[in-house]
């Protein structure tokens, strides 16, 4: 298993070193721009997060938390005014800094394990 060098901070432990760090569990390549695929990672507390999306954005690759498609009252997927699917949060980091650290750590882990999958 691989660990992110800065994962203790990524999951909210501040600058305190952690005996366990964010671990890479698996990867599913998708390559449907801007989506590259989905990672599975394990937090130091033992919680596994499946389907962590890795996407390309204006500032490079980033990882988010999984979300579920929103469904309307007729049972159909909701879309926005541009016809794109709308997703509902299931989890949320308490602040942007934690979100960014998690994103950087997950992208680093996937890059180590599957470098070619994240190349342009």
What's the topology of domain 7-115?
Arylsulfatase, C-terminal domain (3.30.1120)
Q: Please, which residues bridge with residue 24 across strands?
A: 41
Q: How many CA atoms lie within 13 A of 3 on its CB side?
A: 14
> d(Cα 36, Cα 110) in Å, to the nearest integer?
11
Per residue in 42-66, pLDDT (tens digit) is 999 999 999 999 999 999 999 999 9
To which H or E segment does residue 110 belong?
helix 96-113
Please tell me whether the overall predicted TM-score, pTM, comes out greater than 0.75 for this model.
yes
Mean pLDDT, residues 64-90 taken together: 95
Residue in 24, 82, 80 with CA at minimum distance from that of residue 48: 24
Sheet holding 23-32, edge to edge: 23-32, 35-42, 48-57, 60-63
Q: Which of the four pLDDT bands, split at 50, 70 and 90, describes residue 2? A: low
């Amino acid at each position: 298993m691989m660990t992110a060098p800065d994962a203790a901070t990524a999951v909210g432990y501040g600058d305190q070193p952690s005996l366990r760090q964010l671990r890479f569990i698996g990867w599913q390549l998708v390559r449907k721009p801007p989506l590259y695929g989905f990672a599975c990672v394990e937090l130091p507390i033992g919680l596994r997060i499946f389907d962590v999306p890795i996407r390309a954005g204006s500032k490079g690759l980033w990882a988010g938390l999984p979300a579920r498609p929103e469904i309307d009252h007729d049972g159909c997927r909701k879309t926005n005014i541009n016809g794109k699917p709308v997703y509902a949060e299931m989890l949320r980091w308490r602040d942007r800094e934690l979100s960014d650290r998690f994103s950087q750590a997950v992208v680093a882990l996937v890059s180590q394990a599957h470098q070619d999958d994240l190349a342009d």
